[in-house]
């Protein structure tokens, strides 16, 4: 989630609806300037007793963040508490229960992306040794109850924690117990954005199946391969889901603005503090009728903040954000951007991928999304076959797209090697979650805590 460390009080007011599409229009870039931004979260545990550390304890999350100063990172504070570190590779921040996230820098190619990931993991492992903590690359805590998890000192989280139980049964699990890998990608125009949005939204269930990695809840199998994905189905229907309107003729920035105006607010950030506006309307705010700030008009930063509070399977801000994958270890962090870059950053690949899914009905898309958390690559796809079969076709398209990009490393290798871990998943039909379940029922003897040996 976004990290804010400055008030929006000096920002221009939003006085016209046309201003609301400006962030999306500002994202348009020529192909030569398209970049790759990768975000990945990891679970943090104390090595001596496997519990999740609090923020302020000795060797806890605050100390872990501050120790990154040795690598050139600088602290970001909110109300005197360290909530993030900013540095050459982006921002390292904390999620609601102390999950650690790197929001990486926008980079030109996947070789740079994977090098950034490697640097980050080396750094957090080193500071983790000092603090006595380890890291898990999973989509969800395998054994912790909500009550066993700490709460981090960020104002927006306090507001969300109060609001989540009002709008769904699993929103607190989303905040406290899950981890993801996400990829942020660019577009050239409104039409290019629309085609990439539709294609990636239709294919997001495939990404969920390939990266499914959350089969345990509170120490036992939960009946899902991606319980993290299932959690989103009962978090908050106003701000989640498959966004049917994206597939409508004429979809563009203005229609997404309409959607975001219908998403209820969470907060307004003023003078370094979060004001609870949960459930209120940004439309009212536009008219000076926001109950918590009567008579005040929104500023540009308020709209940017609001754009970050919707959580559909693909999200639009000044880039497109792919949101369907569970957290995982190093190789799969590199594989997710390879998957989406291969499909979306080459026109022939994008056209071929869209041709595979453009005939699906909205009912078929929704059914696929709803079945994938349990059935993974075995999920039937519209028109026949299984998601595993579609995966083989899509990986072939992604590989061709990456080859056409011809981004080479110093050894002369292109970017296609980053897809190899996904090739294995498709060829065997076994997701990461299924491999964990095999170990649980086999060599682990039903002891889920053995998973802690499979940390980064």
CB proximity list for 178: less than 8 A, separation 6 or greater? 99, 139, 140, 141, 214, 228, 231, 327
Cα(10)–Cα(28) distance, rounded to whole angstroms?
25
Q: How far apart are the C-alpha atoms of 326 and 179, rounded to whole Å?
A: 6
Can you spell out the DSSP letters for 268-282?
Answer: EEETTEEEE-TT--H
- Per-residue confidence of the chain (456 residues) as pLDDT tens digits? 456 555 444 789 999 999 999 999 999 999 999 999 999 999 999 999 999 999 999 999 999 999 999 999 999 999 999 999 999 999 999 999 999 999 999 999 999 999 999 999 999 999 999 999 999 999 999 999 999 999 999 999 999 999 999 999 999 999 999 999 999 999 999 999 999 999 999 999 999 999 999 999 999 999 999 999 999 999 999 999 999 999 999 999 999 999 999 999 999 999 999 999 999 999 999 999 999 999 999 999 999 999 999 999 999 999 999 999 999 998 899 999 999 999 999 999 999 999 999 999 999 999 999 999 999 999 999 999 999 999 999 999 999 999 999 999 999 999 999 999 999 999 999 999 999 999 999 999 999 999 998 765
- Tell me the CATH number of domain 34-226+314-454, given options 3.30.70.60, 3.50.50.60, 3.30.590.20, 3.40.50.2300: 3.30.590.20
Determine how many CB atoms are found less than 10 A away from the CB of residue 151.
Answer: 15
User: Is-contact 29 124, C-beta < 8 A?
Assistant: no
* Radius of gyration of the chain measured on its C-alpha atoms: 21
Domain boundaries, the chain: 34-226+314-454
> Crossing angle, helix 190-210 and helix 347-357, to 10 degrees?
70
Joined tokens for residue 390 = 């579609």
Helix (H) or strand (E) run with residue 84 in it: strand 81-87
Alpha-carbon torsion 381, 387, 389, 393, what sign?
positive
Task: Please give the structure tokens belonging to residue 438.
Answer: 């095999």
| The pLDDT of residue 8 | 45
CA angle (434, 440, 445) in 5-degree steps = 160
Distance CA 225, CA 241 (A): 19
> Helices in 102-216 by DSSP H: which ranges?
110-131, 155-167, 171-177, 190-210
Residue 379 tokens, joined = 């999920």
């Amino acid at each position: 989630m976004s990290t804010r460390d400055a008030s929006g009080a000096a920002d221009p007011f939003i006085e016209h609806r046309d201003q609301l599409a400006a962030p999306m229009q500002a994202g348009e870039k020529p192909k030569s300037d398209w970049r790759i931004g990768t975000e990945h979260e990891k679970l943090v545990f104390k090595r001596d007793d496997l519990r999740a550390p609090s923020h302020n304890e000795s060797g806890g999350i605050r100390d872990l963040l501050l120790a990154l100063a040795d690598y050139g990172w600088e602290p970001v504070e909110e109300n005197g508490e360290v909530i993030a570190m900013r540095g050459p590779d982006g921002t390292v921040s904390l999620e609601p229960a102390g999950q650690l996230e790197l929001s990486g820098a926008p980079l030109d190619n996947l070789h740079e992306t994977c090098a950034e990931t490697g640097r980050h993991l080396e750094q957090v492992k080193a500071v983790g040794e000092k603090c006595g903590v380890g890291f898990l690359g999973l989509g969800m805590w395998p054994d912790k109850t909500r009550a066993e998890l700490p709460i981090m000192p960020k104002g927006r989280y306090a507001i969300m924690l109060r609001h989540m139980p009002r709008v769904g049964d699993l929103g607190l699990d989303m905040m406290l117990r899950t981890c993801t890998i996400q990829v942020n990608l660019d577009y050239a125009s409104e039409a290019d954005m629309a085609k990439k949005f539709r294609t990636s939204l239709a294919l997001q269930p495939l990404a969920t199946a390939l990266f499914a990695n959350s089969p345990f809840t509170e120490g036992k199998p939960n009946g899902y391969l991606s319980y993290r994905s299932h959690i989103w189905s009962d978090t908050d229907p106003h701000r989640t889901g498959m966004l049917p309107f994206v597939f409508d003729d004429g979809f563009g920035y203005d229609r997404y603005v309409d959607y975001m105006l219908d998403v209820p607010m969470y907060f307004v950030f003023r003078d370094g503090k979060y004001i609870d506006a949960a459930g209120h309307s940004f439309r009212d705010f536009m008219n000076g009728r926001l109950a918590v700030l009567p008579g005040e008009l929104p500023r540009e930063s308020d709209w940017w903040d609001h754009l970050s509070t919707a959580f559909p399977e693909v999200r639009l801000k000044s880039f497109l954000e792919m949101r369907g994958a569970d957290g995982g270890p190093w190789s799969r962090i590199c594989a997710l951007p390879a998957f989406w870059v291969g499909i979306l950053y080459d026109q022939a690949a994008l056209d071929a991928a869209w041709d595979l899914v453009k005939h699906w009905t909205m009912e078929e898309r929704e059914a696929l999304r709803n079945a994938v958390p349990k059935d993974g690559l075995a999920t039937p796809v519209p028109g026949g076959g299984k998601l595993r079969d579609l995966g083989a076709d899509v990986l072939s398209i992604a590989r061709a797209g990456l080859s056409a990009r011809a981004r080479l490393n110093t050894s002369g290798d292109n970017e296609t090697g980053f897809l190899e871990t996904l090739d294995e998943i498709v060829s065997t039909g076994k997701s990461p979650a299924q491999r964990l379940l095999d170990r649980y029922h086999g060599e682990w003897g039903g002891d889920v805590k053995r998973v802690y040996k499979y940390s980064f």
